[in-house]
Amino acid sequence: MIIRGRAIKLGDDISTDHIISGKYKFEFIDDISKMIPHVLEDVIPEFYKKVSKGDIIVAGRNFGKGSSREHAPRLLKMVGISAVVAKSFGFIFYRNSVNIGLPVVKAKVIPDTAESGDVIEVDLARGIVRDITKGVEEKVPPYPPEFLEVISEGGIVEYIKKRGGLPWSTR
């Protein structure tokens, strides 16, 4: 599974509250898509208008730290983000991302060298992240086959709907 997209560079400590402020969690509870205009609004005003389908967030340390709101990775996926490459992640954000089918990759070099607009390529199965624009390549841990299956189906819920159970519970 290879993902290629334009980098959107963010810094350290982007919390789930930066991704989608908690002040919206009940206001738009009836329809999560109504939250789209507020995604990363305090980091990049009108982010939802600037992102293109397939873009990849490249960030520093502690991306997605904070609360356990599943809305954060779900909304990133809904606005068109195809993956997040960061130095480190909040554990719950990382797990929620995999659960909803948004690939997240820990990398040490690419977050320092990439700039917004660079073309980034992520090979989840082989564990390679490339900044095509700069010619930088980094080896990262490959995704386990079970995670690849969940990601390819669009998340755990879709996986279960299509296959009737989780990949790690049937082996």
CATH 3.40.50.2000 fits 2-163, yes or no: no
CA atoms of 122 and 106, how far apart (whole Å): 11
**Confidence check: pLDDT of 170 > 80:** no
**Confidence check: pLDDT of 67 > 70:** yes
**Confidence check: pLDDT of 168 > 70:** no
| Model pTM score | 0.91
Q: What is the pLDDT of residue 28?
A: 63
Task: Please compute the mean of the pLDDT values over residues 100-116 and round it to a whole number.
Answer: 96
27 confidence band (pLDDT: 50, 70, 90): low
**Could you tell me what percent of the chain has a pLDDT over 90?**
67
CA atoms of 130 and 123, how far apart (whole Å): 8
**Confidence check: pLDDT of 169 > 70:** no
Segments making up each domain of the chain, as ranges: 2-163
Task: Please compute the mean of the pLDDT values over residues 93-97 and round it to a whole number.
Answer: 92
Q: What is the mean pLDDT of the chain?
A: 90
Task: Please compute the mean of the pLDDT values over residues 35-64 and round it to a whole number.
Answer: 93
Angle between helices 71-79 and 91-100 (to 10 degrees): 50
Q: What is the pLDDT of residue 71?
A: 85
The upper half-sphere exposure of residue 27, i.e. CA atoms within 13 Å in the direction of its Cβ, equals 9
19-33, 62-76, 101-115: which range is least confident on average?
Answer: 19-33
Phi-psi region of 166 (alpha: psi -120 to 50; beta: other; left: phi over 0): beta
CA atoms of 91 and 102, how far apart (whole Å): 14
CA atoms of 34 and 136, how far apart (whole Å): 38
